[in-house]
Amino acid sequence: MMEATAYVETEFGAKYLVQMCKHFAHKIEVDYSDTHGECRFEGGIAVFDATAEGLRMRVTAEKDETRAWAQSAIESHLLRFAFREQLESLDWR
């Protein structure tokens, strides 16, 4: 399994978590609360955990290409939702 994580410091982590999960729920299986979300896509899962200080994202996938696709989708949506904060690209590790 391929895995990557990223973290963003923001006071709006819970807001972005819910916003992304609601958005992705239109196309894939999603479970979420105000502080934890799981998005199951073909070949992997994205997990979101929000605190008062930020948002942690973890992508686990069977293939490297699938992991890269999920990272890109998450990043583009987060940057769009958080446009007022002028976030830069995420530092996936």
CATH of the domain at 36: 3.30.310.50
Structure confidence at residue 32 (pLDDT): 98
Report if residue 24 sits inside a domain: yes
pLDDT at 71 over 90: yes
Structure confidence at residue 90 (pLDDT): 92
- Using pLDDT thresholds of 50, 70 and 90, give the confidence band for residue 86: confident
Radius of gyration over every alpha carbon of the chain, rounded to an integer in angstroms: 12
Report if residue 15 sits inside a domain: yes
Q: What is the pLDDT of residues 22-68, one digit of tens each?
A: 999 999 999 999 999 999 999 999 999 999 999 999 999 999 999 99
Domain count, the chain: 1
Q: Which residues contact 77 (CB under 8 A, 6 or more apart)?
A: 20, 23, 24
Full domain range(s) for residue 32: 2-85
pLDDT at 87 over 90: no
Report if residue 93 sits inside a domain: no
Q: Which residues contact 76 (CB under 8 A, 6 or more apart)?
A: none
Report if residue 30 sits inside a domain: yes
